[in-house]
Structure 1
Amino acid sequence: MPQEVGAVHTVKHWFSDSLIGQGLLVLVLGVGLGALFRRDEHPGLWVVQGALYTAVVMGTLAVQRHRTARATGVGPRTIADLGRKIRHREVPRDPEERAVMRRLVDDELGKIERGGRWLPYWLGVMGLVAVGLLVLGAIRGSLGYSLGVAVLVAAFILWILLMRRRTLGLYHHMRAALRENG
């Protein structure tokens, strides 16, 4: 795989490491979506709604980062670096870094497995919403929009399942690699 260079590399790492970068991205997306879907409202309302969405998302991210930092005993920058190593399947040689990565992998696997208990219910609710929209579309005679939303919901459900499977495989691989090399 070719090595990233230049501005793309810098921006990518800035977004993965910086809460400010992630907050700016959420704000821009929130304002943009407000402008796209609420064209007839005042632009100030778009900004206020975008700021509200940003505050909620950033609060959630800060709490998650704090919990992960507490579980692993290291700061957010180290966690981000270890996350990159995990995604690239790199096992550290330093025993202290290996111990931190082991705690991080165990913590992330625990989160995924705990979330997996509720996953069928969430996916079922999403499926019911899609089916309900299809029925409403058929009743009202505007099946095109309802069918489009149902396809998007089905694609989103499939994406969730595939990403969960991929992530579980990655973390189980790293857990095994950390145990066999340590």
Structure 2
Amino acid sequence: MLSLKRLLDRSPTAQATLVFLLGLGVTALFRRDEHPAVWVFQSALYTGIAIAVLAVQRRRIARAVGTDAGGLADLNRKIRHHEVPQDPEERAAMRRLAAEQLGQMERAGKWLPYWLGAMGLVVVGMFVLGAVSGSLVFPLLFAVGMVALCSWVLWMRRRSLDRLHGMRQALRQE
């Protein structure tokens, strides 16, 4: 499991393969009546868009931090494992990475209440559609899934902020 996690952390090809397979499965699940070639085409399109966005973000952050993609993956792993680097250059890169990610999360946090409100409106809309159609089973399952997703996003955000603040504090102390 650890090697798979490291492979997905470092390899854009492994990430693209995973996104393609997940996209293919979801597309096949929701579009059973269409030809499998359509599933493959749509999954390839989704994969291309996702990998392009990730590559642009990774390149921008790596440029801001002053390292390459492999070094960026190592720095992110060290943040996750609470490892403070000893090398002065690596410490400076870690400091820039923590500042960049904290700034990005704070900017995104301004939109978080609106995002959560939109998710709430979608859930309410699903309940209204369910009440009109006479079945509340799917809207109830959807609401539970949406609450779980939003709770997970908030938990991961809090955890990431704690890690980044902890790393920034550790880099200041030494």
TM-score, normalized by the shorter chain, greater than 0.5: yes
How far apart, in 2, do the equivalents of 1:114 and 1:174 lie?
19
Deviation at 1:34, TM superposition (A): 1.2
Deviation digits for residues 49-77 of structure 1, max 9, x if unmatched?
00010011001100100110111010010
Identity of aligned residues (%): 56
TM-score, normalised to structure 2, is 0.97
Structure-to-structure mapping, 1:35-46, within 5 angstroms: 35-46=28-39
Deviation digits for residues 101-159 of structure 1, max 9, x if unmatched?
00000000010000001111111001100011012111211100011111111111111
Q: Are residues 1:163 and 2:153 paired? A: no
Q: Equivalent residue for 2:47?
A: 54
Which runs of 5 or more residues in structure 2 are unaligned?
Answer: none
Q: Equivalent residue for 1:178?
A: 171
Q: Are residues 1:140 and 2:136 paired? A: no
Q: Equivalent residue for 2:105?
A: 112
Q: Are residues 1:149 and 2:142 paired? A: yes
How far apart, in 2, do the equivalents of 1:10 and 1:174 lie?
25
State the number of aligned residues: 174
Q: Equivalent residue for 1:78?
A: 71
RMSD: 0.8
Deviation digits for residues 13-66 of structure 1, max 9, x if unmatched?
111001111001000111111111211110000000000100110011001001
Which runs of 5 or more residues in structure 1 are unaligned?
Answer: 1-7
Q: Equivalent residue for 1:22?
A: 15
Structure 1 segments, 4+ long, off by >3 Å, are none
Stretch moving more, 132-141 or 85-94? 132-141
TM-score, normalised to structure 1, is 0.93
